[in-house]
Structure 1
Amino acid sequence: MSTSPVTPTVVLVHGAFTDAASWSGVVAELQGRGVPVVAPPNPLRGLACDAAYVASVAEQIDGPVVLVGHSYGGAVITVAGAAENVVGLVYVAAYVLAEGESVGELQGRFPESPLGASLVQWAYPLPEGGTAVEVSVAVDAFPSVFAADVPADVTRVLAATQRPLAASAFTETAAAAAWRTRPSWALVAGADRAVNPEVERFGARRAGATTVEVEGASHAVAVSRPAEVAALVLDAVRATR
């Protein structure tokens, strides 16, 4: 008796300065094609912590998983992708790290984007006492830096609801690079002003990822171009089922 191939569950991992709702358009596209989808919250508290959480989500899913990471979420899936049932990785305007490499180190090899000068610092309490630093994008800079191709009324909401990233996440190094043992795909946002597109291209090439470039797309490409993002994810799903 023959058995039908199992469709992998897609786990969408958002990056810094946004939340899982940023995947709404992509979720709708994938669900419309019968693909199971989960979009968990990324804690944004540090690479090891965040990757452990995402890996735990993947490991509790019955069957194969394709991890999709946007921006800093790409660094997270690079580590979390070592989970046994992960069969593919999709990077969306993302950092693709090597073992022992940090987001700040990779980014520092290329001309700085406008993001760095647009960050504002906040303090948050630590469980063991004391405080640490987290960063978000200044509200007035958010439209041009993060979401230049998103309607202004939507961008105002995105700026108000952004989730800060622990500053330590920029310097924490990756304990693993799952793309070395998993097939990968990458989408480069051609007009990204948060992550230099050259950072995205370099990481994709190094990982041997099947790559598409969306010309004119901002960093918020999952919001502005959900059909194009979903099309690449569907390619990964078809290739790994």
Structure 2
Amino acid sequence: MRATNRSALFLLVLTLLTTLGLGVAQAPAAPVGKPTVVLVHGAFADASSWDAVAAQLRGEGYTVVTPDNPLRGPANDAAAIKRVLDSISGPVILVGHSYGGVVVTNAARTASNVVALVYLAAIVPAQFEPPQLAIDPIRYPGSKLLPPVLLPKLVPGGVDVYINPEYFREAFAADVPADKAAQMAASQHSLALTAQLEPSGAPAYENHRSWWLLTTGDQAVPPSAQQAMAARAHSQVTAIASSHAVMVSHPDAVAALVTQADAATR
């Protein structure tokens, strides 16, 4: 059979199969009408802390991205997350946990595709305010992230801080099973000491709607500090009886708040 005849026959068969719905398998179509959800972890955690939340949101049809947060400082880390945002076509719901709140509120400032901010047990400074001042222990007592719970360690180029594994569950993940908390303590990413002292930029909450999951059993970022920051950001607040590690202990509540933000911004 000549090549031209074989090509014609192939096209005829392919047309018939397509008409009958039996054509060559195609990749699943991207979810229609749903934003991409970008989940940004904070200090003393890593991207794996989002596993349960990401799985639930993907099951609901969302595309989910869980980038690594460098934990070097607001400007550096926001630039890293901004590069992630720039790589995404279409709307984004940007979620930040703990120090990740500092990062997302800086990263979203110039990101045209962010339609909503979701803060979880977050630190969200005002412009020129260092993250540490936003949770000043004199104004907002109750955090256990002080020595000997919080310890320094030398790293190339400076000093980081991390949570003493002996106290990790008590201070960070009190309602997480002990074996899981131990795993989290072992895999935690340390934070540059200077990151907590670096002034934050103009906050994106000034021109973005935001939602806040306020953790009432938090031993890391006191609920009173969260209440003050959420009020300043004009966030819609949902309170939950949870430790600081709410994305691990209550992934369903986190996913529900993301879907709530999605529905409200359509």
Q: TM-score, normalised by structure 1?
A: 0.94
Counterpart selection for 2:181 from 155, 164, 171: 155
Indicate the structure whose relative CO is greater, using CA pairs within 8 Å and at least 6 residues apart. Answer: 1
Code of the residue aligned with 1:57 in structure 2: it is V
Give the whole-Å Cα distance in 2 for the aligned partners of 1:20 and 1:199: 25
Counterpart selection for 2:43 from 16, 30, 42: 16
Give the whole-Å Cα distance in 2 for the aligned partners of 1:239 and 1:116: 38
Counterpart selection for 1:122 from 144, 153, 175: 153
Counterpart selection for 1:87 from 111, 115, 124: 115
**Aligned partner of residue 140 in structure 1, secondary structure:** helix
Q: Within 5 Å, which residues of 2 pair with 1:184-223?
A: 184-215=210-241, 217-223=242-248
Q: Within 5 Å, which residues of 2 pair with 1:52-201?
A: 52-82=79-109, 83-108=111-136, 109-117=139-147, 118-126=149-157, 132-201=158-227
Correspondence 1:224 to 2:253: no
- What RMSD over aligned residues (CA atoms) do the two structures have, in Å? 1.2
Give the whole-Å Cα distance in 2 for the aligned partners of 1:13 and 1:96: 13
Please list every run of at least 4 consecutive aligned residues from structure 1 whose deviation after the TM superposition is greater than 4 angstroms.
none
Structure 1 residues 138-147 or 100-109, which shifts more?
Answer: 100-109
Please tell me whether the aligned partners of residues 8 and 240 of structure 1 are also in contact (alpha carbons under 8 angstroms).
no
Please tell me whether the aligned partners of residues 143 and 222 of structure 2 are also in contact (alpha carbons under 8 angstroms).
yes
Cα distance, 1:111 vs structure 2: 1.4
Correspondence 1:37 to 2:67: no
Note closer, same or farther for the CA distance 1:112–1:190 as it changes in structure 2 (3 Å cut).
closer
Q: Which residue of 1 aligns with 2:264?
A: 239
Cα distance, 1:75 vs structure 2: 0.6
Give the whole-Å Cα distance in 2 for the aligned partners of 1:6 and 1:34: 10
Please tell me whether the aligned partners of residues 142 and 219 of structure 2 are also in contact (alpha carbons under 8 angstroms).
no
Counterpart selection for 1:48 from 48, 71, 75: 75
Code of the residue aligned with 2:262 in structure 1: it is V
Cα distance, 1:98 vs structure 2: 1.1
Residue identity (%)? 48
Structure 1 runs not aligned, ≥5 long = 127-131
Please tell me whether the aligned partners of residues 6 and 63 of structure 1 are also in contact (alpha carbons under 8 angstroms).
no
Cα distance, 1:6 vs structure 2: 2.9
Cα distance, 1:234 vs structure 2: 0.8
Give the whole-Å Cα distance in 1 for the aligned partners of 2:142 and 2:245: 18
Q: Which residue of 1 aligns with 2:55?
A: 28
Give the whole-Å Cα distance in 2 for the aligned partners of 1:139 and 1:124: 18
Code of the residue aligned with 1:222 in structure 2: it is M
Cα distance, 1:100 vs structure 2: 0.9
Cα distance, 1:112 vs structure 2: 4.6
Give the whole-Å Cα distance in 1 for the aligned partners of 2:173 and 2:32: 38
